[in-house]
Amino acid sequence: MQHQILPRLSVDVGYFRRWFGNFSVVDNRALAPDLSTDFGTFSVTAPVDSRLPNGGGYSVNNLYNINASRAGLVDNYFTFASDYGTQIQHWNGVDVTLNARLRQGVLLQGGLSSGRQITDNCEVLAKVPEASGAASPTGLPYCRHTQNFLTQVKFLGSYSVPKVDVQVSGAFQSIPGPQISANQVLSSAQVRPSLGRALAGAATVTVNLVPPGSLFGDRLNQLDLRFSKVLKYSRTRTSVNLDLYNAFNAETVLAENATYTNATATGWRVPTTLVTARFAKISVQFDF
């Protein structure tokens, strides 16, 4: 008498919130707490470029550069960031997991995960701007930023073809592309009109023209397959496998050049790492 396997399906949904605390900061007590005393402020106008957010042409503000008379003075004090203000870092996300066992040997597992991070240390940097590297400011304009939602989708499944003992299985993943930065290196002459003087502490300054966590490359969509033929001899079980990696032969970029030069530059966002091209592998497994 044969027993019929009934389909089974389960779905789990979870919400997660992670918050971090006890942040630390290094305060150079040789510098005055009043920014106007020891620091000069300047802004940078992003080039007009269709690859930049909103086509470029926007202003990156609240950049700091230490005054020449104060450069080199050091009296570092390590303490909690809460001594200077509120600093937050939160992450909120949702996970959905699916498990399905269907008729005729079909198995499906997977789900999605989506979430974003929020950070804010504006109050701390207002009193301790050197904590973010005021001589070469990369994060001061973005002391508060809310990351875009990042969603990952992953599934795996298998199917046993009846009578011929062939199992077909696969794994699919769709994950966000690399975070994109546009780090523009500016000379003292380029900064002078806004700063009102030459740069102090360094001959150049590097400014990220793209708010962190706001711009990402193309998603990676990858499918891996396996075909297995099962051979049985007495107590011995042999499996002959054919694995096919990156079945779509995707050419997704995993890493890019983050240095921005000008609106017509070809170097920015040039791929430095690509996903491995499609390839196949044959293997044999003996069980005895």
Is 33 part of a structural domain of the chain?
no
Into how many domains does the chain fold? 1
pLDDT in tens, the chain (288 residues): 445 556 788 999 999 999 999 999 999 888 877 677 788 889 999 999 888 999 999 999 988 888 888 888 889 999 999 999 999 999 999 999 999 988 777 999 999 999 999 999 989 888 888 887 654 554 578 888 888 899 999 999 999 888 888 899 999 999 999 999 999 999 999 999 999 999 987 889 889 999 888 899 999 999 999 999 988 777 788 889 999 999 999 999 999 999 997 645 468 988 999 999 999 999 998 877
How remote is the C-alpha of 178 from its chain's centroid?
Answer: 6
Is 72 part of a structural domain of the chain?
no
pLDDT tens for each residue of 259-282: 997 645 468 988 999 999 999 999
Is 81 part of a structural domain of the chain?
no
- Predicted local confidence at residue 10, as pLDDT: 93
Could you tell me where the DSSP H helices lie in the chain? Answer: 35-38, 122-127, 188-195
Is 281 part of a structural domain of the chain?
yes
Q: For 185, phi and psi rounded to 5 degrees? A: -95, 120
Instruction: Count Cβ atoms within 10 A of the Cβ of residue 14 and give its class: 0-12 exposed, 13-18 middle, 19 or more buried.
Output: exposed
Is 241 part of a structural domain of the chain?
yes
Q: For 263, phi and psi rounded to 5 degrees? A: -65, -25
Cα–Cα distance measured from residue 73 to residue 113, given in angstroms and rounded to the nearest whole number: 47
Domain that holds residue 96: 9-19+40-64+88-287
DSSP conformation letters of 238-275: EEEEEEEESTT----EEEE--EE--TT-SSTT-EEEEP
Is 226 part of a structural domain of the chain?
yes
Is 45 part of a structural domain of the chain?
yes
Angle among Cα 131, 133, 136 to the nearest 5 degrees reads 165
- Predicted local confidence at residue 191, as pLDDT: 92
- Predicted local confidence at residue 139, as pLDDT: 52
